[in-house]
């Protein structure tokens, strides 16, 4: 659930999102910093954190915050919902 965009679902659409960031904005790296995890851990937990996008020069291009809802499955913990926003205006 990226800001200023419709909801993205599936591996193929996630790959398109990151390819567009690579091609259009020169993004080459990133950092995710978990600041808290909430929940009992039986079915769902929520991860809260900060992120940074880094360009081809190694500079921080953008930064913000995120929430991820993780769901416990027979195959392990899977990302169920992901929402993030920039700390900057357009």
CB distance 82 to 13 below 8 Å: no
> Which domains does the chain carry?
11-86 (3.10.450.50)
Alpha carbon 50 to chain centroid, angstroms: 9
Banded model confidence at residue 51, pLDDT cuts 50, 70, 90: very high
Residue 62 region, left (φ>0) first, then alpha (ψ -120 to 50), else beta?
A: beta
Banded model confidence at residue 4, pLDDT cuts 50, 70, 90: confident
| Dihedral pair phi/psi, residue 11, rounded to 5° | -65, -40
State residue 89's pLDDT score: 83
State residue 6's pLDDT score: 86
Compute the distance between CA of residue 45 and CA of residue 37 in angstroms, rounded to an integer.
Answer: 7
Compute the distance between CA of residue 82 and CA of residue 19 in angstroms, rounded to an integer.
Answer: 18
pTM for this entry: 0.84
């Amino acid at each position: 659930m990226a800001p200023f965009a419709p909801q993205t679902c599936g591996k193929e659409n996630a790959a398109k999102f990151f390819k567009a960031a690579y091609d259009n904005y020169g993004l080459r790296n990133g950092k995710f910093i978990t600041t808290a995890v909430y929940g009992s851990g039986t079915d769902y937990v929520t991860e809260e954190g900060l992120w940074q996008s880094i360009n081809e020069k190694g500079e921080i291009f953008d930064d913000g915050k995120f929430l991820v809802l993780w769901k416990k499955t027979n195959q392990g913990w899977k990302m169920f919902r992901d929402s993030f926003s920039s700390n900057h205006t357009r």
